[in-house]
Amino acid sequence: MSKTPDGGPAFPMPAGPEPRVNDATHYNEGMTLRDYFAAKVMQAEIALWTEGSWMQSSNHIAKKAYIMADAMLEVREK
């Protein structure tokens, strides 16, 4: 498991001519696992929105998604 705070790359790929290749790991970095988890949480939040919940700011929902993603990474490391 990754010991990086962001969980490392969500979908690591062997290095190639693409940009964003990490010279140390020789993997295409892509999105982080933290970003992937947050996107999944955001998707679920949007699916649960009702007419009245649109009053919540998008910043509030985004912060909530990253709080959940951080919790998921923390549990994953144990």
pLDDT, tens digit (0-9, with 9 covering 90-100), for 46-63: 777 765 555 667 788 889
Torsion sign (Cα): 6, 9, 15, 16: negative
Beta bridge partners of 32: 9
Determine how many CB atoms are found less than 10 A away from the CB of residue 69. 23
| Conformational region of residue 7, where left means phi above 0, alpha means psi within -120 to 50, and beta covers everything else | left
Domain boundaries, the chain: 13-77
Global pTM reads: 0.64
Tens of pLDDT, residue by residue over 18-29, are: 555 556 665 556
* Strand extents, DSSP E, 10-54: 13-14, 21-22, 27-28
